[in-house]
Chains A and B, each alone.
Chain A
C-alpha cells in the first residue's frame, strides 16, 4: 500500500533519516519503533507530505505519493492539536472537509463514531471545556472520520486511561480486519506486541530491524519454554537433568507453578516434556517469546 524506498532527510547538517526503506502491507499493522530522536516523526511527516525526502521515494499504491493521496490517509500526530475555541463538531467537520468529505458523509460518520465512543452529547461543547482524555477521543475521530485506507498513528495511546486504551486498541484491530493499512509509532511495547503484525525499528536515523513481530520475537528468543503444572516444584527440578536449566518460576495457585526452562545442548521441547511428565501434572506448556521491550533495549543499547 505504501512503500518507502531509500528515503533520507537532513536538517541543516543533521541527518534525521538515513536511507530507510520499508513497506506497509494492506490489512496489516506495522509498528514503527525507535528511541526518542531516532527519526520516526520525520519519517511519518514525510509519509504525510508535511516534509519531503532529500533522497528516495515514497509510493502509494505504486504511484509517487502526491497531495491527492492524502485524502486516503488518516494522520494522528504525536502532538495533538485541536482548535480550543471551536466545538467538537466544528473541529471534526473542518478536518473532514479538508480530507475531501461531503457534509452529509461527515454527519453520517460523525454519528457513527460519536455513538461508538459515547460522546453524542459533546457535539456543541468547545474543546477547551473537555478533559485531555475527552479531547484525545475527538482527535482520534478526526483521524478516522473520512474512513481512510491508511492510518498513521503516532503514539495513539498517550493520554488515554486503560479502559480507553482497550477501546482504541479494539478499534484499531477492527479497522485492520476491515483491510485498512495501519502504521503505529509507539513506546508502549505491550500494545505493539498485542497489535502489530510487523515492526520496523529505527535507531540513530537508520533502520536496524524489520520483520514479522512473532518471527523476530522467536528468533531473538533464548529457547526458553514455560511449563504450567500441578505438583511439587522440588520433584520438577529434580527431574531436570543436564540438558535443561530452570531460569525462573512462579506460584500461580496453591501447588500450581509455572516453571521457565531453558534448553541446553541439543535438548528439545519434546525431551523436556518426556522428562517431567511422570513427576508432575502438566496443565500447559509454551514457548516463551522475547518481549519487544527486551529486543528494543538490546538493539538500542548495543548501538
Chain B
C-alpha cells in the first residue's frame, strides 16, 4: 500500500509539473466560459441603434409606432412609395439602416416588408416584428372593430401550447435539462479520453525508457498499474476542481455583471403579460437570451449534478482507465497499437451518441439498457439524472452504479493480468491474439 501511494504521488507530481496540465486547467474553463458567454449573447446585434425609415404611403400607421422613445430604434416616416433602388442610391437615405414598407392593404393581407442593409439579429427582428404588429393591432381595432384595444388583446392572446409528457406533468424532464446532463456526460467523456490517453502514454514511456524494470524490482505490477491509474485520476480531479472553481467564479461574475437585472426580473415573475410595452419587452428580452441564463442560474441543481458528475467521472475513468492501462502494457512501442486506441475512442464516441439519444428519446426502452452498460452508463446516467429519476425508478440508478463498480473490479483484474504479462515485453508489434495468450 505504501508503495502504491508513492507511485500515486509520483504520478500526480509528474502531471502537475507539465505545462499542458496547467494549460488545460486554466484555458479549458476560460474557453468554456467564453462559449457560455457567446451562448448568452447569441443573436445579440453588434449595432446598438437601428435607424429605420417607414415608407407608409397610405399613412396606415399615422406616422407613429407605439414606442415613442427607444434606445434601440429610431423611426422616420415617409408618406410615399419608395423603391429599393432609390433607397440604396438616394443620398438622403444613406443614414438609414433599413426601410419598412407598409402597403395600403396591410390590414387585410397582414404582410409588410423590411429591407435592410445589414441583416438584423434575430432579437432585433423579433422586436421590430413585435412593434409593427402592436401598432397595426391598434389601427385594426380602431378602424375595423368596436371593441377596445385591451379587449382585443385579451381576445387575441396567443395560446401557449406547451407539450408535456403525461408521466412528467410538471415538465421536470424538460429537453433543456436533458442537454445539461448531456453536457456533463460529455465533459466526463472528455476527461476520460484526455486522462486515459495520459495513462497509455505514461505506461509506454516507462516501457520505452526501461524504468519499469527498476520499479518492478520493488513494486508489484498490479500495484504499479493501480498507482498509475489512481495517480493520474487524482491529477484529473485536481484539474476538475480548478475547472469547477474557475467556472463557478466566472458564472458568479456573469450573473453580477451582465445578467443581474434580467435575472431579477425573471426571478420576480414579472413576465409582462399585461399590455405595457416595456414589460412585454422585458418578457421578450428574457425569453430571447435568458432561457439559457435561467437554466444556468436557476434550473440546474448543481449540488446533485456535481455529486453525480464526480461519482460517474471517477467510476467511468476507473473503468476506461483499466482498458488504457492494459493496452499500454501490451504495446511494444509508443507508436504501436494505434488501432486499439481508435477502438477505445470509437467506444467513447458511441457513449457520447448514447447520451444524445437519451436526451432526445428519454423514454425509449433502449435507454434503460444503455444506462446499465458500463461503457455508456456514465453519460446516459448523467442525462437521466438531469431529467430526473422517478422515485420508483431510482433503483435503476443504483443498479447502473453497481454494475459499473463490478465492471471496474473485473476490468482491474483483467488489466492487471495483461499488465503483468505485457509490461516487460518490448519492441514487438501488438496483435489481437496477444491479448488472449497465456
B128 at the interface (CB under 8 A from A): no
Residues of B within 8 A of A81 (CB): 206, 209-214
Q: In the complex, A139→B209 CA distance in Å?
A: 13
- Tell me whether A98 and B6 are in contact in the complex, defined as CB-CB below 8 angstroms, given that A12-B437, A67-B220, A85-B14 are known contacts: yes
Complex Cα–Cα for A82 and B209 (A):
7
User: A49 to chain B: which residues have CB within 8 Å?
Assistant: 220
**B218: Cβ under 8 A from any A Cβ:** yes
Which A27-80 residues sit within 8 Å CB-CB of chain B? 45, 48-51, 67, 70-71, 73, 75, 77, 79-80
A73: nearest residue on chain B (CB-CB)?
B217
Could you tell me which residues of chain B, from 5 to 20, have a CB within 8 Å of some CB in chain A? 6, 10, 14, 17
Which residue of chain A has the shortest Cβ distance to B7 in the bound complex? A98
Q: A97, B214: Cβ atoms under 8 Å?
A: no
Convert B404-438 into 0s and 1s, putting 1 for each residue whose CB lies closer than 8 angstroms to a CB of A.
00000000000000000000101000000000011
Does A16 count as interface, using CB distance less than 8 angstroms?
A: no
Q: Is A208 an interface residue (CB 8 A)?
A: no
Task: Report if A77-B6 is in contact (Cβ < 8 Å); known contacts: A12-B438, A50-B424.
Answer: no
- The distance from the CB of B19 to the nearest CB of chain A, in whole angstroms, is 12
Q: Are B211 and A98 in contact (CB under 8 A)?
A: no
Whether the pair A83, B209 counts as a contact (CB closer than 8 A) is: yes
Instruction: Report the bound CA distance from A142 to B220 in whole Å.
Output: 18
A94 touches B (CB below 8 Å): yes
How long is the Cα–Cα vector from A236 to B291 in the complex, in angstroms?
113
Are B214's CB and A142's CB within 8 A? yes
Instruction: Give chain A residues whose Cβ lies under 8 Å from the Cβ of B209.
Output: 81-84
Q: How far is it, in angstroms, between the C-alpha of A83 and the C-alpha of B426 when the chains are bound?
A: 17
Say yes or no: A50 contacts B214, CB within 8 Å: no
Indicate the member of A50, A77, A79 with the most B CB atoms within 10 Å: A50
A81 CA to B215 CA, complexed, in Å: 9
Tally A residues with Cβ within 8 Å of B. 28
Docked pose: A97 CA to B3 CA in angstroms = 8
**Beta-carbon contact of B438 and A98 below 8 Å:** no
Contact of B211 among A71, A82, A97, A99 (CB under 8 A): A82
Say what secondary structure dominates the interface of chain A. loop
A237, CB-defined interface residue at 8 Å: no
- Does B219 reach chain A (CB closer than 8 Å)? yes
Using A12-B437, A12-B438 as known contacts, say yes or no to A98 and B219 having CB atoms under 8 A apart.
yes
Q: Report the bound CA distance from A228 to B358 in whole Å.
A: 95
Quick one: given A98-B3, A98-B6, are A83 and B211 in contact (CB under 8 Å)?
Answer: yes
Residue A95 at the chain B interface, CB threshold 8 Å = yes
B237 part of interface (Cβ distance < 8 Å): no
- From B3, B17, B214, give the contact of A77 (CB < 8 A): B214
Q: Are B213 and A94 in contact (CB under 8 A)?
A: no
Do B218 and A99 touch (CB < 8 A)? yes
B132 at the A interface (CB under 8 A): no
> Which residues of the partner chain A approach B6 to less than 8 Å between Cβ atoms?
94, 97-98
Given A82-B211, A98-B3: A48 touches B216 (CB 8 Å cut-off): yes
> Which residues of B sit under 8 angstroms from A70, Cβ to Cβ?
217-218
State how many angstroms separate the Cβ of A24 from the closest Cβ of chain B.
16
**A75→B217 contact, CB < 8 A:** yes
Which B residues lie within 8 Å of A99 (CB)? 218
Q: Which residues of A contact B219 (CB under 8 A)?
A: 98
Specify which chain B residues have a CB less than 8 angstroms from the CB of A12 in the assembled complex.
437-438
CB distance from B152 to the nearest CB of A (A): 76
Q: Interface size for chain B: under 10, 10 to 19, 20 to 34, or 35 or more residues?
A: 20 to 34
With CB as the reference atom, state the residue of chain A lying closest to B2: A100
Within 8 A of A (CB), among B312-364: none
- Digit string of A136-147 for contact with B (CB within 8 Å is 1, else 0)? 000100100000
B1 CB, nearest partner CB in chain A, Å: 12
> Using Cβ atoms and an 8 Å threshold, which residues of chain B touch A45?
213, 424
The answer, among A79, A84, A97, A98, for a CB contact under 8 Å with B213, is: A79
Q: How far is the CA of A12 from the CA of B438 in the complex (A)?
A: 7
Q: Which of B10, B206, B426 has the most C-beta atoms of chain A within 10 angstroms of its own C-beta? A: B10
- Closest approach, in angstroms, between the C-beta of A72 and any C-beta of chain B? 11
Contact between A98 and B218, CB atoms less than 8 A apart = yes
Chain A residues with CB under 8 A of B214? 75, 77, 81-82, 95, 139, 142
A73 to B214, CA, bound (A): 12
**In the complex, A250 Cα to B160 Cα: how many Å?**
114
B contact residues around A80 at 8 Å (CB): 210
Distance between Cα atoms of A99 and B2 in the complex (Å): 10
Given contacts A12-B438, A81-B209, contact A95 B17 (CB under 8 A): no
Residues on the B chain within 8 Å of A51, using CB: 424
Complex CA–CA separation, A45 to B220 (angstroms): 12
In the complex formed, the residue of A with least CB distance to B210 is A81
Closest Cβ of chain A to B199, distance in Å, is 16
Q: Which residues of chain B come closer than 8 Å to A84, judged between CB atoms?
A: 209
- In the assembled complex, the CB of B209 is this many whole angstroms from the nearest CB of chain A, namely 5
Which of A222-263 touch B at CB < 8 Å? none
Contact with A along B247-266 (1 / 0, CB 8 A): 00000000000000000000
Hey, which chain B residues are within 8 Å of A85, CB to CB? 14, 17
Chain A, Cβ-Cβ closest to B207: A81
Question: Given the complex of chains A and B, what is the CA–CA distance between A237 and B43 in angstroms?
Answer: 111
Cβ distance A204 to chain B, nearest Cβ, rounded Å: 22
Bound form: Cα–Cα A48–B219 in Å: 10
**For the complex, what is the distance from the CA of A99 to the CA of B214, rounded to whole Å?**
11
Contact mask B221-239 → A, CB, 8 Å, 1/0? 0000000000000000000
Is B438's CB under 8 angstroms from A50's CB? no
Residues of chain A within 8 A (CB-CB) of B437 are 12
Among all A-B residue pairs, the 8 with the closest Cβ atoms: A81-B210, A81-B211, A98-B218, A75-B217, A79-B210, A77-B213, A50-B216, A48-B217
15 A-B pairs (CB sep. < 8 Å): A50-B424, A73-B217, A77-B213, A77-B214, A80-B210, A81-B209, A81-B211, A81-B213, A82-B209, A94-B10, A95-B214, A95-B218, A97-B6, A98-B3, A98-B218
8 further A-B contacts with Cβ under 8 Å, apart from A50-B216, A75-B214, A77-B210, are A45-B213, A71-B218, A79-B213, A79-B426, A81-B213, A83-B14, A85-B17, A98-B215
Residues of A within 8 A of B (CB): 12, 45, 48-51, 67, 70-71, 73, 75, 77, 79-86, 94-95, 97-100, 139, 142
